[in-house]
């Protein structure tokens, strides 16, 4: 069952998402905003390199050139209860601008103390697309589990406690 706005609000007010801004509520989701940090490719090697986009604005965005791939973080931190799962969905406005999300935004029950890391790419062929902290990048839909899992992500997860954008751990 996908949670409604009033259910999402109650869970967020209890600490499921921080900071919680009620203006970001939708009927069945919560808008998420980009944070200050990204990881970008470098010609020096295959390892993604940290980059701050703090200070970039809608008037002076960080430019993702055509074909560029980066990992980005959300401003929001998550502490999912053991009875709630969540799924990230890119905002249609971002898709219409040429940003693509690589569909790895599932959050298991018990995922906690972490910002969501997003895998984003500029799929435009000729023009850059801009990103900046605070950009509404997507929305999280929350689903109530039919029952509590035997072992939640709090016990099994490798990406708990990620306070910033995080590269693959294999």
First to last CA, the chain: 31
Comparing 84 with 151, the larger pLDDT belongs to 84
In tens, the pLDDT along 34-43 reads 999 999 998 8
Q: In the Cβ-directed half-sphere of 107, how many Cα atoms lie within 13 Å? A: 31
Give the global pTM: 0.93
Give the DSSP H or E segment for 85.
Answer: strand 84-90
Residues contacting residue 155 through CB under 8 Å, at least 6 positions apart: 110
Cα separation, 148 vs 159, whole angstroms: 20
At the topology level, CATH places domain 5-156 in Deoxyuridine 5'-Triphosphate Nucleotidohydrolase; Chain A (2.70.40)
Catalytic residue check, 119:
yes
Annotated active-site residue in 13, 73, 76, 119: 119
Q: Which residue's entry shows tokens 């910033």?
A: 164
DSSP class of 158: S
- Whose CA is closest to 133, among 27, 32, 34, 30? 34
Q: Where are the domains of the chain?
A: 5-156
- Whose CA is closest to 74, among 93, 95, 91, 96? 91
In tens, the pLDDT along 68-125 reads 999 999 999 999 999 999 999 999 999 999 999 998 889 999 999 999 999 999 999 9
Cα separation, 82 vs 106, whole angstroms: 14
pLDDT grade for 51, boundaries at 50, 70 and 90: very high
């Amino acid at each position: 069952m996908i949670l409604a706005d009033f259910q999402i609000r109650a869970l967020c007010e209890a600490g499921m998402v921080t900071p919680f801004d009620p203006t970001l509520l939708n009927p069945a989701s919560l808008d998420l905003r980009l944070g200050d940090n990204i990881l970008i490719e470098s010609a020096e090697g295959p390892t993604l390199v940290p980059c701050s986009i703090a200070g970039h604005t809608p008037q002076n965005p960080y430019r993702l050139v055509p074909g560029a791939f980066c990992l980005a973080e959300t401003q929001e931190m998550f502490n999912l209860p053991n009875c709630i799962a969540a799924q990230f969905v890119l905002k249609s406005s971002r898709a219409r601008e040429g940003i693509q999300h690589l569909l790895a935004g599932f959050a298991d029950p018990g995922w906690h103390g972490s910002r969501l890391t997003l895998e984003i790419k500029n799929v435009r062929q000729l023009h850059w697309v801009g990103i900046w902290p605070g950009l509404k990048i997507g929305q999280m839909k929350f689903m109530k589990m039919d029952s509590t899992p035997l072992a939640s992500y709090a016990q099994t997860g490798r990406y708990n406690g990620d306070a910033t954008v995080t590269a693959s751990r294999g």
